[in-house]
Amino acid sequence: MRRQYLAFGLAIFAVAIVVCVESISLVIWTPIGPGPGFFTVILGAVLGLLALAVMWDQRRQGETDGAQPRQSEEASEADPAPRRRFRRPARVWLVVGALVVIPFVLEPLGFRLTILALVLYVLLFVERRRVVSSVLIAAGASALSFYVFADLLAVPLPVGLLGV
């Protein structure tokens, strides 16, 4: 498992470097304030720092794992921790799969329905929350995010075929 996190950290760090290098070619500062490359450079740097933190954490865990005595097989079979350890990456891949689908459904469904469906999916199928609270949270998240981006920040968002 440690190697997977290290490989993931390296891959994300490589993406962060590409983001930073490509963002530097954009205008970082204009006479009226931040340019198009300003926030992308910052986000690329934060992404790189987070990737380094993941790799550092795994390196430290590797050092402490070697110092701990091994448990007997009977103790490891009774311990539910190994089952949780393998369940977590499956949940991550469910969310990653949903994020891969979003660009394809954003235009046809519109921003509000896409965010509503994403939050519902994560709450109901990934986190296994109750239906009523999931629907309320998803509706609130969809409405609030649309208000922030469309009304406050004046970002043009897709409305979709249904006009929603």
The rounded distance, in Å, linking the Cα atoms of 59 and 14 is 18
Record the tokens describing residue 31, joined without a space: 């006479």
Structure confidence by residue, pLDDT tens digits, 64-87? 555 554 554 454 455 555 555 545
Contact at 8 Å (CB) between 3 and 54?
Answer: no
Structure confidence by residue, pLDDT tens digits, 22-65? 988 888 888 888 888 888 999 999 999 999 998 888 877 766 55
Q: What is the pTM of this model?
A: 0.53
Record the tokens describing residue 28, joined without a space: 């970082």
Where are any strands of DSSP class E within 4-137? 29-30, 33-34
Give me the numbers of helices (H) and strands (E) for the chain, helices first please.
6, 2
Structure confidence by residue, pLDDT tens digits, 110-162? 999 999 999 999 999 888 899 999 999 999 999 999 999 888 888 888 888 87
Per-residue pLDDT averaged across 89-100, rounded?
A: 85
Q: For 126, left (φ over 0), alpha (ψ -120 to 50), or beta?
A: alpha
Using CA atoms, how far residue 104 sits from 100, 119, 152, in Å, is 8, 16, 26
